[in-house]
Amino acid sequence: MIPVLVLNSGSSSIKYQLLDMADRARLATGVVERIGEAGGAVADHAAGMRQVLAELEGNLDRGALAAVGHRVVHGGDRFRGPTLIDDEVCDAIRDLIPLAPLHNPANLTLIEAARATFPDTPQVAVFDTAFHQTLPAPAHTYAVPAAWRDELGVRRYGFHGTSHQYVSRRAAALLGRRPEEVNVIVLHLGNGASVCAVRDGQSVDTSMGLTPLEGLIMGTRSGDLDPAVPAYITRRTGQSAEEIDRTLNTASGLLALAGSNDMRDVEAAAGKGDEGARLALDAYCYRIRKYIGAYLAALGRVDAVVFTAGVGENSAAVRAGAVAGLEHLGISVSPKRNVAESKEERYISPYWAQTAVLVVPTDEEIEIADQALAAVG
């Protein structure tokens, strides 16, 4: 047994998985919700941690735990890989709060609760941004004043790094090649969504930016838009920067166009002839297609386009729509393979295709556990 506990905290929830990395098996998984909410039973993340322990009772021998792996959203440009947590690392995560004001405080509170609970177990931070620290300067630079870049840290960081890293490595395995010798475009399409261009196993561009708002159309996020839109809305309505930021993050995307942030609802409504839902689906796929084109240009040679996460793994309609019209660039899906139901890693391109199109279910927890063990040594 090599038990590893993986913790992933939101502002009001803790998701956990206990894995036995000796045979890569899941021993227990669960979620503690409504932390700190009025009327909720769980007062704070420390109480949430006690509930996780209670739920793991019987599965977990505390002394035997090899590592605790923490998903941390923002590592800024300080963290390029999994990092053993000490007081200094906690301070650095605290320093990065301005870049991730909702996520990093929640991650930090849970780290502190877990350190108190497992004082003798190594704790490792695995950052959502770390995989993208290999982006070359032309890809991560925004053309803004030096004071914003140098003093305020305004640049592209990118997110979903753990997923992009795991999925690009699995894609290489599926192609029968080593990760260092393949170029892939990974489409992580979940509630949040992002694209990553991977060259020779390293992230060289990604669609999320300073924050997770940039890039693809998502469940509730707008993705790309003219940066002048917020100022325009303020002038017209008097709304504050905070209000507009909240609207673009939580009341835009599929939700704004189709009335639901769940792609299953959008597809069902589009199927019944709902025009808003049809437009939402078309715009969602069109945005992905534009990014595939952009990253083909960024990479020059692409061995595979890979779909992952809730929508990418399950929606044949989105996969077909995303690559529609790209046949002349060597990218297409086989209609039959694309609609075949499966939970496995698989090819969905035709056998004669120049570029493979793959579906690879993501597994961020196993990647976090692997990286945590690597950091422990």
Residues identified as active-site: 128
Smallest gap from Cβ 212 to ligand ADP, in A, equals 10
Beta pairing, strands 67-72 & 83-84? unpaired
Smallest gap from Cβ 128 to ligand ADP, in A, equals 12
What is the Cα–Cα distance from 321 to 289, expressed in whole angstroms?
Answer: 8
Which one-letter amino acid corresponds to residue 269?
A: A
Contacts (Cβ under 8 Å, ≥6 apart) of 38: none
Residue nearest to ligand ADP (CB): 310
> Which tokens go with 98?
């301005």
E-only strand ranges, the chain:
3-9, 14-20, 25-32, 67-72, 83-84, 123-127, 183-189, 193-199, 202-206, 304-308, 346-347, 356-359
Query: Taking CB under 6 A as the rule, does residue 252 contact ligand ADP?
Result: no
The stretch among 33-41, 45-53, 77-85, 307-315 that binds ligand ADP (CB under 6 A) is 307-315
Query: Taking CB under 6 A as the rule, does residue 112 contact ligand ADP?
Result: no
Query: Taking CB under 6 A as the rule, does residue 355 contact ligand ADP?
Result: no
Query: Could you give the strand order of the β-sheet that contains 183-189, starting from the edge strand earlier in sequence?
Result: 202-206, 193-199, 183-189, 304-308, 356-359, 346-347
Nearer Cβ to ligand ADP (76/190): 190
Choosing from 66, 106, 208, 263, the residue that interacts with ligand ADP (CB under 6 A) is 263
What is the Cα–Cα distance from 118 to 81, expressed in whole angstroms?
Answer: 22
Please say whether the beta carbons of 306 and 160 come within 8 A: no
Q: Which of 1, 13, 140 lies closest to 65 in space, CA to CA?
A: 1
Smallest gap from Cβ 338 to ligand ADP, in A, equals 13
Query: Taking CB under 6 A as the rule, does residue 192 contact ligand ADP?
Result: yes
Query: Taking CB under 6 A as the rule, does residue 264 contact ligand ADP?
Result: yes
Smallest gap from Cβ 318 to ligand ADP, in A, equals 7
Nearer Cβ to ligand ADP (245/262): 262
> Which tokens go with 268?
């069902």
Smallest gap from Cβ 368 to ligand ADP, in A, equals 14
Smallest gap from Cβ 376 to ligand ADP, in A, equals 26
Q: Kindly determine how many residues on this chain lie close enough to bind ligand ADP according to the rule CB under 6 A.
A: 13
Nearer Cβ to ligand ADP (179/192): 192
75 burial via Cβ count (<10 Å: 0-12, 13-18, 19+): buried
What is the Cα–Cα distance from 236 to 280, expressed in whole angstroms?
Answer: 25
Nearer Cβ to ligand ADP (76/192): 192
Choosing from 105, 153, 310, 330, the residue that interacts with ligand ADP (CB under 6 A) is 310
Which one-letter amino acid corresponds to residue 210?
A: L
Smallest gap from Cβ 233 to ligand ADP, in A, equals 26
Query: Taking CB under 6 A as the rule, does residue 191 contact ligand ADP?
Result: yes
Choosing from 100, 172, 311, 375, the residue that interacts with ligand ADP (CB under 6 A) is 311
Site for ligand ADP, residues 313 to 332, rule: CB under 6 A:
314-315
Residue showing tokens 């909720």:
40
The H or E element that residue 275 is part of is helix 275-299
Site for ligand ADP, residues 218 to 237, rule: CB under 6 A:
219
Nearer Cβ to ligand ADP (314/355): 314
Positions touching ligand ADP (CB under 6 A) are: 190-192, 219, 262-264, 267, 309-311, 314-315
